[in-house]
Amino acid sequence: MATTRSEPPQCSAPISEEILLEYWMAALDEAAETAIEEHLFACDECGGRLRGTIALAEALRDVARSGSLRVIVSDDFVRQAKAEGRTVREYTPPRGGVVACTISADDDFLIARLVAELAGLPRVDLGIYDSEGRERGRMADVPVDAAARAVLYQESATFAKAAPDDVMVLRLLAVEAGGERVLGEYEMRHTRTIPGPAAW
């Protein structure tokens, strides 16, 4: 039975997907951007990989903008969503306190603004816990806006719309050489207000 061999790469110095993405996002300095452009003009292989990277990034962005993912977002994301006429339900739970929350059928995004002192921290994780303190999930090394002193957590609107009454505890954790330190704990008490039975 004949086997199909993949063609060996033709590029002697292929550009990594990470650099291609930074190039597409205009995140490189001028010298690096110029060098990448010169390479892409001469290299069909890397040009094809750039097109694939762009397609993947666009697809991921579309999923993130659907409100269906649990992700960390920025203030710019929230402002843009509102400017586009999307409905954003946002809560700012007090650090160490409780907030009653819900979601309606018409809401596109569900955001928790978690305020904490974030300056100078090497890494911040977001832990998601149930009411008994069991960890349900964790986002490692989340992006933070130290100047705004907040992390904006987007809960999946799809998940929340199907959820029964529930309690979720969010913890911002500074991960340092000596271990973890709690920067803030925020209890979200969800009440289902959408008619019909919950999904579970």
Q: Are residues 59 and 105 in the same domain?
A: no
Q: Are residues 40 and 104 in the same domain?
A: no
- State both tokens at 161: 């719309």
How many domains does the chain contain in total?
2
Degrees, nearest 5: CA angle 56-60-65? 145
Q: CA dist 54 to 9, 27, 40, 151, Å?
A: 20, 14, 14, 27
Quote the domain boundaries for residue 185.
91-190
Q: How does 132-150 read in b/e, with b if 16+ C-beta sit within 10 Å?
A: eeeeeeebeebebeeeeeb
Question: Is 199 inside any structural domain?
Answer: no
Let me know if 14 is exposed, middle or buried by CB neighbors in 10 A (0-12, 13-18, 19+). middle
Question: Is 143 inside any structural domain?
Answer: yes
Q: Residue 29 is which amino acid?
A: D
pLDDT tens for the chain, residues 1 to 200: 444 455 555 788 898 888 887 888 787 889 989 999 999 988 999 989 888 888 877 776 666 666 778 889 888 889 988 998 999 999 999 999 999 999 999 999 999 999 999 988 999 999 999 999 999 999 999 988 777 789 999 999 999 999 999 999 999 999 998 899 999 999 999 999 988 777 66
Question: Is 8 inside any structural domain?
Answer: no
Question: Is 44 inside any structural domain?
Answer: yes
Question: Is 82 inside any structural domain?
Answer: no
Degrees, nearest 5: CA angle 134-135-140? 165
Question: Is 72 inside any structural domain?
Answer: no
The CATH number covering residue 150 comes to 2.60.40.4070
Question: Is 70 inside any structural domain?
Answer: no
Q: Are residues 61 and 96 in the same domain?
A: no
Q: Are residues 45 and 101 in the same domain?
A: no
Question: Is 83 inside any structural domain?
Answer: no
The single residue listed with the structure tokens 């009440």 is 191
